[in-house]
Copies of this chain bind each other. A is one copy, B any other.
Amino acid sequence: MARAATTTDAFNAVAEPVRRQILDALADGERRVNDLVVLLELPQPQVSKHLRVLREVGLVRVRPEGRERIYRLDGRSLRPIHDWVKNYERMWSERFDALDDVLEDLKKEEGRGNDDN
């Protein structure tokens, strides 16, 4: 086995910068393929191929409209990523430092519960 297929999960799909660009573009609302082509200044096949990957992991949905295809964001597949990174938020956010302080204070004031962490 070589590398995990990008088509497998959202983590891999989103590791590709162009695909993130596409998602960001779709965040403003649905778009036709060609709108994305123009917007991202990329060759059309490349866009279509990335859209395919995004489709396969459920990050976007298509709606045909005449000869055009309207792509729409479906961000729910991003949730696992969000939930995963969220556990690390404390490592950079001062908000969490503040929270830690509060917790420490609580421990001290709250009496002599001998909890160590």
Q: Which of B75, B86, B89 contacts A91 (CB 8 A)?
A: B75
Q: Which residues of B lie under 8 Å from residue A78 when comparing CB positions?
A: 85, 88, 91-92
A interface residues, how many (CB within 8 angstroms): 28
B-contact bits for A82-105, CB 8 A (1 contact / 0 none)? 101111111110000000000000
- Bound-complex Cα distance A15 to B3 (A): 10
Copies assembled? 2
**B residues within 8 A CB of A42?**
none
Distance, CA A9 to CA B85, complexed state (A): 15
Residues from chain B with Cβ under 8 Å of A81 in the complex: 81, 85
Distance in Å: Cβ of A24 to nearest Cβ of chain B: 8
